Structure 1
């Protein structure tokens, strides 16, 4: 006697699990290590707030870098657009997204350089002036170095894109690079709050 099963069979087969891209894992590890370094610098800055024995103080010399912040945070949108465009085989859109990201990141660096020029030449604040100067230039400078590294890598990607050497199969690699840039932007939000808002 043959028995017939009344249990419904799901025809959909679950997609096999695949390992994440090696570059993504590597970048995640790098970001964790870099985040730990930034946490140390942020904690040091917070610890030494108000402990300088001489001026100038943050409230006297720091102004909220609104324009630079808008440019840097907007660059996260443009780099996301570049990755999305490449995934859709829109090479022109990818090139435009990378160009916009490099431009906005460069503008942010220029605003940081102008701020430092003002602090050093007009306000007399150097890394040796007081504890505020030491912790300020260390923290903001560390972030600026990361922006420079990101801009160098993005500029190389832009150069390859302009030369027609960036294809759809490179989308994962560009996405890995975008993760680093998103991290740099996220760190700036923390630096902005600690240095320019809470620190004043």
Structure 2
């Protein structure tokens, strides 16, 4: 039995339980590699969007279409959720399981609010602006990039929700800790991607 597992058996955990075992460290390293692949994929979608953003096919342009206050509100929610994810990891390092669960729950709720605003945004574009997936090359690139990110947010919400359930049933261990840590890495990644989307798609779209 490793020292980390022995400590867990005695009811105590190392300060950074996600890195206490070789398996945990390997999970973190492997997830960094996974995020590298995701970054390449999103980079390809960004490049495609930039290449097609002026091909509107007589449909609405970005400047005519986007409603920045709504998108700014969604951005604020996602940025705050990144902060609550940090608080969750800090609680984990202190061994405060209840606080960890609560911060994860707040992160999930903020993510859900973000998705609601994004779905509402899409519905406005489709119903009132006649801006659908097949309206133009610009619309196709927009929905592909933003929708793909939204799918990542939805997956992150589901993932963190499952981890909350595991915490309720199994508690915080050297096995569950790496899962929570890499889920926070994932959440920060999709937050960073959104900052780029907000800047490249929305802000540049309004001024370009």
TM-score normalised by structure 2 residue count: 0.83
Task: State the shift of 1:160 in Å.
Answer: 2.2
| Alignment match, 1:115 | 121
Q: SS of the counterpart of 1:21?
A: helix
Work out the CA distance in 2 between the residues paired with 1:173 and 1:33. Answer: 19
Work out the CA distance in 2 between the residues paired with 1:177 and 1:54. Answer: 42
Unaligned 5+ runs, structure 2: 1-20
Contact 2:146 2:197 in 1 (8 A): yes
Q: Determine which of 59, 64, 67 is the counterpart of 1:60.
A: 64
Q: Determine which of 126, 132, 138 is the counterpart of 2:132.
A: 126
Contact 1:58 1:199 in 2 (8 A): yes
Q: Determine which of 158, 161, 170 is the counterpart of 1:155.
A: 161
Contact 2:55 2:136 in 1 (8 A): no
Asked if 1:38 corresponds to 2:42, the answer is: yes
Work out the CA distance in 2 between the residues paired with 1:199 and 1:123. Answer: 16
Work out the CA distance in 2 between the residues paired with 1:198 and 1:147. Answer: 23
Query: Deviations for 1:118-164, whole angstroms, at most 9, x for unmatched residues?
Result: 00011110010012211110100110111111111001112223x24
| Alignment match, 2:187 | 181
Q: Determine which of 77, 84, 87 is the counterpart of 2:83.
A: 77
| Alignment match, 1:135 | 141
| Alignment match, 2:172 | 167
Work out the CA distance in 2 between the residues paired with 1:36 and 1:100. Answer: 30
Contact 2:89 2:181 in 1 (8 A): yes
Work out the CA distance in 2 between the residues paired with 1:49 and 1:199. Answer: 8
Q: SS of the counterpart of 1:89?
A: coil
Contact 1:46 1:199 in 2 (8 A): no
Unaligned 5+ runs, structure 1: 1-17
Work out the CA distance in 2 between the residues paired with 1:149 and 1:186. Answer: 16
Query: Deviations for 1:40-96, whole angstroms, at most 9, x for unmatched residues?
Result: 110111111222221111111111211111111111111111111112110111011
Work out the CA distance in 1 between the residues paired with 2:55 and 2:120. Answer: 26
State the structure with more CA Rg: 1
4+ residue runs over 6 A deviation:
none
Task: State the shift of 1:172 in Å.
Answer: 2.9
Q: Which has the higher helix share?
A: 2
